Amino acid sequence: QQQVKQSPQSLIVQKGGISIINCAYENTAFDYFPWYQQFPGKGPALLIAIRPDVSEKKEGRFTISFNKSAKQFSLHIMDSQPGDSATYFCAARGNTPLVFGKGTRLSVIA
């Protein structure tokens, strides 16, 4: 049973555009929602995280939007750059270890 559903599976964005990745969850016990960036051959690196008492969090070009009633959260990457090309994972944690979405492979083209 997939606890966190992530979409799209892959995404191609023009340089300077906005990349949007969405995740949905069912477990209302989740209380921590991080996003990770992973480059090939490397471990995931934390980008930004949010807790359910906040509807939006912004750090630089990265923004998480959180909709508690819909049980959805999304990552927005503003002014996307070729260096942002990587795989992005959403995750969630409640009374269990982190569970991950299946990942989104982002390609930013010039």
Chain residues that interact with other proteins, rule: CB under 8 A: 32, 34, 36, 41-46, 49, 89, 93, 97-103, 105
Q: Measuring CA to CA, which residue among 86, 109, 95, 92 is closest to residue 6?
A: 92
Cα 67 to Cα 6, 38, 39, 44, 73: the distances in Å are 15, 25, 28, 24, 6
Q: C-beta of 51: minimal distance to other proteins in Å?
A: 11
Q: C-beta of 12: minimal distance to other proteins in Å?
A: 16
Beta carbon nearer to other proteins, 18 or 54: 54
Q: C-beta of 18: minimal distance to other proteins in Å?
A: 24
